[in-house]
Structure 1
Amino acid sequence: MRLSILFLILCLFSACSTHHESNKLGTIDFEQGLHEKNHFDLKDRVTGIKYIPFETKEECMLSDIRNIFKVQDNYVVQDTEYVYMFDPSGHFIRKVSTKGKGPGEYELLVDVQCSQNEIFLVSLGKILVFSATGDYTRTIPLDDLRLQAMSIDNEGNFYFIMPDKTQKKEITSIDLIHIYDKEGHFIRKVESKVVRHEAGLAYYNNIMNIDGVGVAYKELFGNVIYSINKNTEPDSLFVLSLNDSFFKKADFNRSKRHIWGDKYLLLDVFNTPKTNIFKLQKGLIKPTHEYLVFDKEKDKIHRPLFDENKLGLSCDGIKMHPVNQTGKTLLFTVDPEYLEALTEKNPNIKLEEDCNPVLAVLTFK
């Protein structure tokens, strides 16, 4: 099984612009957050919630959901092999593209991103572009087959993360991000500041986006979050205090496999007006996901509890997992173990056995 680690993240903190303008970096203490547990319910932070069961039928059986996007009024869902489109009520509309070698088809689905009006599928050496209704419109050729996970900025430029291979001691930097314009022309690259070497392993990385923010990233073994400004140059935004609970360079050695199950990686950040939600990965081989919540008003971070001291995020006692964000709206999937509780609280929701996931659309205050 290929070992995958996500080490680039996107985030926007409400205080980021202030810290950047004053050239002073704020610090968020993740180590403290792991030891601080408080009851937290998303219901107290939202103005509205809508549950949308994705239709369950043979031609749209979802496996492991990688991402969900809202494109105009519809929802575009990426799983491990395909991209599906559902209407606002969750009814299946169509697949977006399919496997093949013809126009608008892909041999390998590498990544998916969406804008307000277009859908972008990354395959080997190309970006397939589709309209908001899922119709194929054009192909953007790329000059490097290694270009993998992708993000898009507000100008329509594409950001690709390069695969990070084991480096020799004498290597002082590696190509981290390659930036292309909307026509697929190379603009520039961003090099890493923290270099991994002697790990004995190869990693495949990811890059994500939050609507209206632009691109930002954190290097795997660094503790600074960088944004990429309008000049496509990195700016330092925030310092994270990670300490011993998080993976360090020395931990990526096969002789230390016994500790891999207890260490954390930071995967993603979801920004709301009053709260930042940090998604963590615990372990490598069979990873699990946990969360930290940063209260901007109280300037405190903690692990969220619900339902008699269970770890995780919930809304009105229903456990759920964040997937993507558009402005103040966050998209979650309901935890499968809480589908019965969901239907008890919402009798109008009818679910079949072995049904597709249920989308929860939360609008934050």
Structure 2
Amino acid sequence: MKTTLSIFTVLLCTFFSCNEKSIKENDYSNTSTKVINVPDKLDITSHSDSIFSKVTFLPLETKPDCMISFVMNLKIVDSLIYINDGLKRLLVFDSKGKYKYQIGSKGNGPGEYLEMRDYLVYKDHIEILDFKKIITYSLTGDYIETKHFDFLDQNQYCNADYFTQAPTGGYYFWGGTSGIKDFSAEKKRYLMYHVSDDMKIKKGEFLITHGSGSCFYRYTNFEDLTIIDPSYGNYNVYQINKQGNISSRYYFNFGKNAYTKEIPIPDRSNAFQINEELNNYVLEINNFLETNNWIHIDFAYKQTAHSAFYSKKKNKVYLLSPASPNLSPNEFRFWGALYVKGETLIMPIDASWLQTELNRISPEYIKKLDLESYKNKDEFDNPILAFYELKI
């Protein structure tokens, strides 16, 4: 069975954490930060009809040259669907799910990449973040140029996992510091760096004393803002405005389920004990997506995946969990979301997962969602995109 990315993967958090006290050395406070209060009873979930007005599906074409083993992330730009898969490829599908072509190829030659860590799609070109370089292609995959960088020295370590365009020019790199421990005070290192167009570090943001955990993506956009997905052990969602100023946009208050102490770094002697303690708290929120009317996050609690939806109009938080025992036979399971377009959340789901749902939900609901044609779908087929349209 293929492994499509889901909020179940959130449970694979690392222990590496950013130091809260160090983050505060950079003042990102904002008096207008919106506090979102998440209910203490995380096992009390809503019916999905309280959140979604409609659920539709789009199968991605299954062919030998576009078999997808793992969806790292996806983007939809000008009706084209871009999939970063587990084989380090960037595959392009049209609006009907038909496979079109691959952008670039894996290798060490000119115009090739060793890793495809992240990518940006512009109006007339695509940039792929590789190890110590950014490769630019046309929208149809023709190689244009390569920008090289090397920030792996002892003073300003940055092994970028994610990147985005900086509003004041250049890029923001998320530092890729997972696993690096015990930075000395005289060698300041940061979670994020502002890099100029000529690939020079201009400034570091979010000072750390230990390595940080990872996520599925780090940057999204809402209106004219760049949004930074939260880091491990931090309940703030940060924004970057057009002037390049960073501030806290939202703070998710998990009440008694929040871990308020500094997160310990385990060793062989105490790793199990620390793991048992931390499992009783929400330690990381992922996949922040914002629309004009809703806010979405995924998180894990007691080794169970959850999603929270905040309605801006009703000032209310709704909870869903794919592991909830209270799922109605007239309710399609929500597995999380990797992308948002308008007021619709989008998630790739394995064909095998869909088969499980078809065995659970009622015949009437199968008919309502027009899922009869999926009953005989091969479980090894490419993922199916689920479009969850949010209520307005």
Structure-2-length-normalised TM-score = 0.73
Does the 8 Å contact 1:269/1:277 carry over to 2?
yes
Instruction: After TM superposition, give the deviation of residue 327 of structure 1 in Å.
Output: 3.6
Q: Which amino acid aligns with 1:64?
A: F
Does the 8 Å contact 1:275/1:295 carry over to 2?
yes
Please identify which structure carries the higher strand content: 1
| CA displacement 1:124-175 (0-9 Å, x = unmatched) | 1111122222332222222435222122356774211113332358579642
- Structure 2 match to 1:57: 63
Q: What does 1:80-91 correspond to in 2, within 5 Å?
A: 80=86, 81-91=88-98
Instruction: After TM superposition, give the deviation of residue 227 of structure 1 in Å.
Output: 1.4
- Structure 1 match to 2:233: 221
Q: Quote the Cα distance in structure 1 between the aligned partners of 2:100 and 2:173.
A: 30
- Pick one of 306, 315, 336 that aligns with 1:321: 336
Matched, 1:296 2:312: yes
- Structure 1 match to 2:377: 351
Report SS of the residue matched to 2:247.
strand
- Structure 2 match to 1:192: 206
Matched, 1:249 2:262: yes
Q: Quote the Cα distance in structure 1 between the aligned partners of 2:378 and 2:221.
A: 33
- Structure 2 match to 1:12: none
Matched, 1:112 2:112: no
- Structure 2 match to 1:28: 36
- Pick one of 34, 47, 63 that aligns with 1:39: 47
Q: Which amino acid aligns with 1:167?
A: D
| CA displacement 1:283-313 (0-9 Å, x = unmatched) | 7xxx76421121222222232268985479x
Q: Which amino acid aligns with 1:216?
A: I
Residues paired across the two proteins, number? 341
Deviates more, 1:204-213 or 1:80-89: 204-213
The change in CA–CA distance for 1:307 and 1:268 in structure 2 (over 3 A counts) is: closer
Identity %: 19
Q: Quote the Cα distance in structure 2 between the aligned partners of 1:261 and 1:307.
A: 16
Q: CA RMSD in A?
A: 3.7
- Structure 2 match to 1:147: 160
Matched, 1:161 2:186: no
Deviates more, 1:156-165 or 1:269-278: 156-165
Does the 8 Å contact 2:137/2:145 carry over to 1?
yes
- Pick one of 137, 141, 150 that aligns with 2:144: 137
Q: Where does the alignment leave 5 or more consecutive residues of structure 2 unmatched? A: 1-11, 19-28, 153-158, 359-364
Structure-1-length-normalised TM-score = 0.77
